[in-house]
């Protein structure tokens, strides 16, 4: 794609010519960014920000941004630019030997954006223990090349462990879409819907069905009340409500508008939904976990899971057990839709 204000910030920083445009317009501004924001080696926040969004916290004025964009659009995308952009992707296809007669699960952990190591590790440990306890066959990979038609056919569900950043090539994206369309299962956990910018609309708007808005910062982690929709098929093992402490996501769009069946909602009166720079994170109706049907496939997403201790919290463990079991069951009821 041509350079523009919608280009991932990492791709602009990787290009000497594009970086030169920035440095000419706002000298020294990008040099002052912390490494985790301006790093060009994943994981980095530069992979989950476009220049347009980065301009806000960098205090780049709209007219200056318009000048930058005009100059960026005039730049050619060189062969070296293409190589640099592609370096964070892979086509490594791991080989898995899986037993028959039990649910087969792929725990996916390729992360190019924000990698919250404690939550990723806690989730992996909890899920592997869960698989052993439930008799599931679960394997772990951080290779995007595992998302191909032949490999995906071996699995009943794919679990995205706090995935952040654009991690799939175009053919890998198509493979995941086709996999869901033909009846596969998808489970997304917390950070898998927590990026400020997405460069794959189908993932955000159709698969997840909601776009991240922000999380509280005053303080970041708070106790809140979770209400359970007891009419939902996955509510059997859950109480009518519970309280726990986590980083609570708010979304710009409500998954109900994408056809989701909401399982959990967050009681906004029980915590302080104020984000950075006094951002109002109130949704009113605040879905926290939901299911949906994508083609013949089943998807589940839960926004719980930043605090490592959540992965040993009994209600959360019961939630994940029910959700993964449902997503991996190709006989589970799911209305066919596009």
Question: Measuring CA to CA, which residue among 48, 69, 66, 49 is closest to residue 57?
Answer: 49
Residue 216 to residue 258: CA distance in whole angstroms? 25
Residue 198 to residue 173: CA distance in whole angstroms? 13
Q: Which two tokens stand for residue 186?
A: 């998808």
Residue 30 — pLDDT band, cuts 50, 70, 90?
Answer: confident
Contacts 24+ apart (CB under 8 A), 235-239: 235/263, 236/322, 237/318, 237/319, 237/321, 237/322, 238/315, 238/318, 238/319, 238/322, 239/315
Is the model more confident about 126 or about 276? Answer: 126
Residues 279-301 have pLDDT tens digits of: 899 999 999 999 999 999 999 99
Residues 157-213 have pLDDT tens digits of: 999 999 999 999 999 999 999 999 999 999 999 999 999 999 999 999 999 999 999
Which H helix or E strand runs over 299? strand 297-302
Residue 294 to residue 207: CA distance in whole angstroms? 7
How do beta strands 185-189 and 297-302 pair? parallel
Residue 335 — pLDDT band, cuts 50, 70, 90?
Answer: low
pLDDT of residue 192: 98
Residue 334 has pLDDT above 80, yes or no: no
What number is the average pLDDT over the span 245-251? 98
Q: Quickly tell me which residue has 């476009």 as its tokens.
A: 50
Residues 118-143 have pLDDT tens digits of: 999 999 999 999 999 999 999 999 99
pLDDT of residue 337: 41
3-state secondary structure of 290: strand
Residue 298 to residue 296: CA distance in whole angstroms? 7
242 pairs with which residues across the strands?
226
Residue 331 — pLDDT band, cuts 50, 70, 90?
Answer: confident
pLDDT of residue 217: 92
Which H helix or E strand runs over 125? helix 117-134
Residues 41-91 have pLDDT tens digits of: 999 999 999 999 988 878 899 999 999 999 999 999 999 999 999 999 999
Structural contact between residues 87 and 45, judged by C-beta atoms closer than 8 angstroms: no
Q: Which residues are CB-contacts of 206 (< 8 A; sequence separation ≥ 6)? A: 258, 294
Q: Quickly tell me which residue has 């066919």 as its tokens.
A: 336
Structural contact between residues 226 and 288, judged by C-beta atoms closer than 8 angstroms: yes
Residue 15 to residue 35: CA distance in whole angstroms? 17
Residue 336 — pLDDT band, cuts 50, 70, 90?
Answer: very low
DSSP symbol at 8: B
Residue 109 to residue 242: CA distance in whole angstroms? 29
**What phi and psi, each to the nearest 5 degrees, are found at residue 176?**
-70, -40
pLDDT of residue 338: 36
Task: Give the largest Cα separation in the chain, rounded.
Answer: 62
Percent of the chain residues topping a pLDDT of 90: 89
Crossing angle for the helix pair 16-25 and 62-73, nearest 10 degrees?
Answer: 150
Question: Measuring CA to CA, which residue among 136, 134, 201 is closest to residue 166?
Answer: 201
Structural contact between residues 265 and 226, judged by C-beta atoms closer than 8 angstroms: yes
Q: Let me know the angle formed at the C-alpha of 201 by 195 and 207, rounded to the nearest 5 degrees.
A: 85
Q: Which residues are CB-contacts of 316 (< 8 A; sequence separation ≥ 6)? A: 244, 304, 305, 310
Which H helix or E strand runs over 324? helix 314-327
What beta strand segments (E) does 215-330 contain?
A: 222-228, 241-246, 250-251, 261-267, 287-294, 297-302
For CA atoms 177, 155, 292, 168, the dihedral sign is negative
pLDDT of residue 35: 84
Average pLDDT, the chain: 95
Q: Which two tokens stand for residue 156?
A: 């009943």
């Amino acid at each position: 794609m041509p350079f523009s204000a919608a280009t991932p910030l990492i791709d602009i920083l990787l290009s000497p010519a594009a970086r030169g445009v920035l440095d000419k317009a706002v000298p020294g501004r990008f040099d002052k960014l912390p490494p985790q924001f301006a790093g060009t080696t994943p994981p980095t926040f530069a992979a989950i920000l476009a220049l347009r969004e980065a301009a806000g916290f960098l205090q780049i004025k709209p007219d200056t941004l318009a000048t930058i964009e005009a100059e960026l659009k005039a730049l050619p995308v060189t062969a070296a630019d293409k190589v640099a952009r592609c370096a964070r992707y892979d086509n490594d296809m791991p080989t898995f030997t899986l037993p028959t007669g039990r649910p087969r699960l792929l725990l996916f952990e390729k992360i190019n954006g924000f990698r919250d190591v404690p939550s990723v590790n806690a989730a992996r440990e909890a899920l592997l223990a869960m698989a052993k306890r439930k008799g599931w066959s679960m394997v772990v990979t951080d290779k995007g090349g595992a998302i191909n038609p032949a490999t995906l056919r071996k699995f009943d569900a794919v679990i995205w462990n706090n995935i952040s950043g654009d991690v799939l090539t175009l053919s890998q994206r198509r493979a995941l879409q086709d996999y869901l369309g033909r009846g596969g299962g998808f489970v997304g956990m917390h950070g898998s819907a927590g990026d400020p910018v997405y460069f794959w609309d189908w993932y955000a708007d159709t698969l997840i069905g909601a776009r991240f808005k922000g999380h509280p910062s005053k303080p970041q982690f708070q106790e809140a009340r979770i209400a359970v929709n007891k009419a939902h098929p996955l509510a059997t093992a859950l109480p009518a409500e519970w309280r726990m402490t986590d980083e609570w996501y708010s979304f710009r769009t409500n998954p109900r508008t994408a056809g989701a069946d909401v399982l959990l909602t967050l009681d906004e009166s029980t915590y302080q939904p104020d984000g950075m720079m006094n951002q109002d994170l109130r949704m009113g109706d605040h879905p926290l976990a939901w299911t949906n049907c994508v083609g013949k496939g089943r998807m589940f997403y839960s926004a719980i899971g930043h605090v490592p201790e959540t992965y040993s919290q009994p209600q959360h463990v019961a939630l994940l057990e029910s959700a993964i079991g449902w997503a991996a069951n190709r006989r589970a009821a799911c209305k066919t839709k596009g």
